[in-house]
Structure 1
């Protein structure tokens, strides 16, 4: 009888402990900020709103686009360097060549690779053909499962053709894996109005190379809650001829096997509104 009472006490204690731990986990989940893989869009206005981030510009009016030019320069300052990596993770300078700013030869080469999404060309805003920059955030706890042609798992039928071609031309066993990126019109009318877009640098795959991402499998456990010491790589999206006078809803997303696309979620996707007057 004594053994049975002790067994019951142990069971009750275990149940109580599990309930307490579950309650603590629930409270932490409610009180602590949620973390998820975020696809950041730059430039951002001072009153940035994820649901309706509007980028509005009049190409023939410097007053309408200079603020975007300035914000992009502020954002890109952390990438300023005289010796960029190869391939460069971002434009290496925020100084317009009209300012007669001296650059190293490697930096000049890097800037040509990022054209027209550079300070030299005002990131396209002066011509009403703007560039936006994409960067991954909140990846300290994430171990991505990339798509590639060497894996036996199927490629989703909705994957854009430009990503499929990049996977064929840059096989993972030679060039490494990528977190692929695509952008397009969010709704039917937007798909018609968005016009051609180009991923910059144009000679490289439209995505983030895993070798440059500080994901959970590449950093010590103790450092996973700390910001990256090195800013992550960028992708620029150049809108070559968006329809004038209409608001275009743009959606960008990443493609990995472990992140499921959900148009109502913020995980791995970004949206913004583009209005070129």
Structure 2
């Protein structure tokens, strides 16, 4: 009888230990899932894409050096090609150059004007030495973002750029909806001197991803989180208006969300690439 009681006690103790360990593991996974899945993609990218050193290099005066970048951007944007009106358009609606006399619907023409000069009509700026890159969030199915919003009495990080704070003041979430904000800048001091002015396209919209268009964990059933999106996620184009020629420029882009902790040693919520305009 005593042995049976002792055995029961051991079993109970083992079960309690396993429950405690399981709870700790579950808590840690819950804290780390966001950091594990959220990724900021940069396009175009080469066949031998390397996250640590993704180089975009070309000479504006030599089409042979940038035509392959145009093809890669077109391949990337092809899933967005549509005549179905979207307001606002989540991406350029066509990868066919207007110079080729391709017919477009009025809705598509409006979308292309909204995304100019980051469209195929302008060769995405590469022919002028003013390249566009496209940013997109991926692996968001397990993520519930916690957007920054100036209308909420919560801490805004001091390192947030002033232009972003100003936009947040002008576009409060209760009127315009929440955004996962995005910014790009030179990675180091010398890069910040060489990168030149940056614009976010479409110019009339905030620099970021509207949460209403992100298929995050709070917007889809649990059993659908492993399935691909029917509609590709929204984009932000970054236009480099006058990067210094003949200099390698390290560029870092990052998203701003309360639950994403910025860390240069991590890939979570940030992306980097190198730009060299010959």
Q: TM-score range with shorter-chain normalisation? A: over 0.9
Offset, 1:20: 9.3
- In the alignment, which residue of structure 1 is the partner of 2:186? 185
Q: Structure 1: which 5+ residue stretches go unaligned?
A: 29-33
* SS at 1:218 equivalent: coil
1:11-160 equivalence runs, <5 A: 11-14=12-15, 17=18, 35-160=36-161
Give the TM-score of the pair, scaled to structure 1.
Answer: 0.92
Offset, 1:13: 3.8
Offset, 1:8: 2.0
State the distance in 1 between where 2:36 and 2:224 align: 15
> Does the 8 Å contact 1:83/1:104 carry over to 2?
no
Offset, 1:137: 0.3
> Does the 8 Å contact 1:84/1:92 carry over to 2?
no
> Does the 8 Å contact 1:52/1:273 carry over to 2?
yes
* SS at 2:134 equivalent: strand
Offset, 1:226: 1.6
- In the alignment, which residue of structure 1 is the partner of 2:228? 227
Cα RMSD for the two superposed structures = 2.0
> Does the 8 Å contact 2:149/2:172 carry over to 1?
yes
* SS at 2:37 equivalent: coil
Change (3 A) 1:260 1:35: closer
State the distance in 1 between where 2:94 and 2:63 align: 21
* SS at 1:217 equivalent: coil
Q: Post-superposition, which runs of at least 4 consecutive aligned residues in structure 1 deviate over 4 A?
A: 15-22
> Does the 8 Å contact 2:36/2:268 carry over to 1?
no
- In the alignment, which residue of structure 1 is the partner of 2:201? 200
Query: Cα deviations across residues 66-106 of structure 1 (Å, max 9, x unaligned)?
Result: 00000000000000011231110000000000010000001
Give the TM-score of the pair, scaled to structure 2.
Answer: 0.92
* SS at 2:218 equivalent: helix
- In the alignment, which residue of structure 1 is the partner of 2:32? none
State the distance in 2 between where 1:201 and 1:20 align: 49
State the distance in 1 between where 2:70 and 2:216 align: 30
Q: Structure 2: which 5+ residue stretches go unaligned?
A: 30-34
Offset, 1:4: 3.5
Offset, 1:7: 3.4
Change (3 A) 1:144 1:14: same
The answer to whether 1:267 aligns with 2:272 is no
Offset, 1:225: 1.4
